[in-house]
């Protein structure tokens, strides 16, 4: 059985109507490339020539990367077999000098979205299922700079009700998704 992804469940609630379709498609393609390049860098894999449209975002990430003491995983698909959904968090890390773990999601859009709160709160729950002994106590968005300046970590741990609340929103969306997609 193929479970719906976190982004599939949240997707219908994101309004892209103010973004021209060609710009949206370009941004999606660029975002995928940025994720692939960052994955390759962290995993020590060969990195092809970086497209000009991605270079400042990669430079932004590289300036931030020394803040990380440990990458537990990068781009790993996790599943909740009880609630029947899956997600692929960008990473689970431990910051330098920190004893707890953080789940940051890499973002290239300039403007934050409320959906990011729900997304990373849900990814945290998936990571807790996979790594029950790790104290995963922080979530957020790592906003990569389109100008190549250091990325900014936006801490969502306690924002707008906190991580548990963000996950509860997802569970409600998941119930609706499963109800209407059920055959």
Q: Looking at the structure, give the CATH architecture of the domain made up of residues 16-181.
A: 3-Layer(aba) Sandwich (3.40)
pLDDT, residue 1, reads: 66
Domain ranges of the chain: 16-181
pLDDT at 183 over 90: no
Handedness of CA 182, 120, 93, 41 (dihedral sign): positive
What would the pLDDT profile of 9-59 be if each residue is shown by its tens digit? 999 988 888 888 898 899 999 999 999 999 999 999 999 899 999 999 999
What would the pLDDT profile of 48-80 be if each residue is shown by its tens digit? 899 999 999 999 999 999 999 999 999 999 999
């Amino acid at each position: 059985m193929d479970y719906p992804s976190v982004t599939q469940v949240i997707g219908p609630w994101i309004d892209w109507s103010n973004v021209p379709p060609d710009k949206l498609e370009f941004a999606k393609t660029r975002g995928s490339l940025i994720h692939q390049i960052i994955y390759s860098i962290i995993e020590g894999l060969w990195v092809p020539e970086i497209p000009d449209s991605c270079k400042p975002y990669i430079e932004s990430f590289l300036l931030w990367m020394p803040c990380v003491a440990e990458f537990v995983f990068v781009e790993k698909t996790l599943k909740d077999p009880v609630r029947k959904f899956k997600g692929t968090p960008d990473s689970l890390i431990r910051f330098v000098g920190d004893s707890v773990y953080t789940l940051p999601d890499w973002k290239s859009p300039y403007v934050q979205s409320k959906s990011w709160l729900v997304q990373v709160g849900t990814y945290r729950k998936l990571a807790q299922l996979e790594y029950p002994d790790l104290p995963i106590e922080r979530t957020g968005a790592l906003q990569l700079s389109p100008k190549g300046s250091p990325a900014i970590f936006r801490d969502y741990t306690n924002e707008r009700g906190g991580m548990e609340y963000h996950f509860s929103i997802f569970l409600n969306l998941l119930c609706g998704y499963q109800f209407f997609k059920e055959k």
